[in-house]
Structure 1
Amino acid sequence: MKNYAPTIPVCQLDEKNYFVGMTIADLDPLENNDHYLIPRLCIQAKEPQPKKGYIAQWTGDNWQYIEDHRGETVYSKETGEVIAIDEPGVLPATVTTMPCPDIYHQWSEKANNWVEKADAAQLRLQNKRSTAGTLSRMQMLSQLEISLGTKKDALIEAAEKAMTGIELIKIRNYILETQAFSLANELWWNFLTGILQIQPDHVFEMWEEARTI
């Protein structure tokens, strides 16, 4: 009587026939032959050879190798955000493995890389303004007097020479009444850089110096 091995190795698959690993099938105790109890989602086949960056998939006759980027870090070309890859296969055309340097860049298919946005300089300036914080009334007006020799009355006079109507009323009220000056305020920024003609870099220098007052 021929003796059969109590178990044999079999390949375990997932629901989409991707190779998961090796397991065993037991010899059928009710059959006096080489009949084995093959577990669900398992096949009798030679174990596929590992291939870096790929996963083996059973076609019904043999193994085919599919690109597998699961676990890799990829980025949306639209937003630069990290995208999770949940399924094997070729990477979508909408993602890249290169991280976006910052919010001032956008993806270029022509360059096949991240390129600086056309308005990057303006965006950086806006961001710098919005994160500059606020200065108290005393800090701002004292700094203007120190840096420019310009007192409050001179500020009003400069506004009256260059502005009219509602804009003049707004800036006059801002100078006379506000308790917290902000570079994010478009009216105030335009007054400093347009009416007083202070260069943006100098505005930020003055702003930082004013914090010490």
Structure 2
Amino acid sequence: MKNYAPTIPVCQLDENNYFVGMTTADLDPLESNGHYLIPRLCIQAEQPESKKGFIAQWTGDNWQYIEDHRGETVYSKETGEVVAINEPGILPAIVTTMPCPDIYHQWSEKANNWVEKADAAQLRLQNKRNTAGTLSRMQMLSQLEISLGKNKQALVEAAENAMSGIELIKIRNYILETQSFALENELWWNFLTNILQIQQDNVFEMWAEARTI
């Protein structure tokens, strides 16, 4: 009587026939002809070759190798955000393995890379203004008097000489009444850069100096 091994190695698959690993099948104790109890989702086949970046899939006759990017960090070409890859296969055309440098870049298919947006300089300036914080009334007016020699009244006169209508009323009230100044305020930014003609870089320098007052 032929002796059979108590177990044999078999390949374990998932629901999509992707190779999971090796396991064993037990000899059927009720048969005497070498029949083995093959576990569900397992096949008798040679263990597939291990290939970096690929996963083996059983076709029914042999192994085919599918790109496998699960676990890799990829980024949306539209938003630059990290995208999770949950299934084997080639990478979707809407993602890239290159991280977006910052919010001032966008993906270019032509360059196959991230390129600066056309309005990057404007966006950087706006972000710098938005994150500059606020200054108290005393800090702002004192700094303008130190830097430009203009007190509160001189600031109002400068506005009256260059502006009119509702814009003049708004900026005059801002100068006379506001308790905190912010560069993200479009009216105040335009007053500093257009009416008082302070260079943008100098505005930020003055802003930083005013914090020490």
TM-score range normalised by the length of the shorter chain: over 0.9
Aligned pairs (5 A) from 1:121-200: 121-200=121-200
Letter in structure 2 aligned against 1:32: S
In the aligned structure 2, how far is the partner of 1:146 from the partner of 1:157?
Answer: 17
Instruction: Give unmatched runs, 5+ long, in structure 1.
Output: none
In the aligned structure 1, how far is the partner of 2:112 from the partner of 2:49?
Answer: 33
Letter in structure 1 aligned against 2:167: E
Letter in structure 1 aligned against 2:163: M
Residue 39 (str. 1) matches residue 39 (str. 2)? yes
Letter in structure 2 aligned against 1:120: A
Letter in structure 2 aligned against 1:34: G
Matched with 1:203 is 203
1:174 offset after TM fit, Å?
A: 0.1
Render the CA deviation track for 1:84-106: whole Å, top value 9, x for unaligned.
00000000000000000000000
In the aligned structure 2, how far is the partner of 1:105 from the partner of 1:150?
Answer: 40
SS at match of 2:188: helix
Aligned pairs (5 A) from 1:18-29: 18-29=18-29
In the aligned structure 2, how far is the partner of 1:148 from the partner of 1:159?
Answer: 15
Letter in structure 2 aligned against 1:131: T
Letter in structure 1 aligned against 2:119: D
SS at match of 1:143: helix
Letter in structure 2 aligned against 1:165: G
In the aligned structure 2, how far is the partner of 1:40 from the partner of 1:168?
Answer: 81
In the aligned structure 2, how far is the partner of 1:87 from the partner of 1:5?
Answer: 37
Letter in structure 2 aligned against 1:80: G
In the aligned structure 1, how far is the partner of 2:113 from the partner of 2:101?
Answer: 10
In the aligned structure 1, how far is the partner of 2:148 from the partner of 2:120?
Answer: 30
In the aligned structure 2, how far is the partner of 1:15 from the partner of 1:125?
Answer: 53
1:34 offset after TM fit, Å?
A: 1.0
Aligned pairs (5 A) from 1:8-87: 8-87=8-87
In the aligned structure 2, how far is the partner of 1:154 from the partner of 1:21?
Answer: 81
In the aligned structure 1, how far is the partner of 2:207 from the partner of 2:201?
Answer: 10
In the aligned structure 2, how far is the partner of 1:149 from the partner of 1:48?
Answer: 81
In the aligned structure 2, how far is the partner of 1:181 from the partner of 1:32?
Answer: 92
Matched with 1:97 is 97
In the aligned structure 1, how far is the partner of 2:166 from the partner of 2:34?
Answer: 96
Matched with 2:120 is 120
In the aligned structure 1, how far is the partner of 2:21 from the partner of 2:53?
Answer: 16
Render the CA deviation track for 1:48-104: whole Å, top value 9, x for unaligned.
010000000000000000000000000000000000000000000000000000000
1:204 offset after TM fit, Å?
A: 0.1
Matched with 1:107 is 107
Letter in structure 1 aligned against 2:154: A
Instruction: Give unmatched runs, 5+ long, in structure 2.
Output: none
RMSD of aligned residue pairs (Cα, Å)? 0.4
Letter in structure 2 aligned against 1:27: L
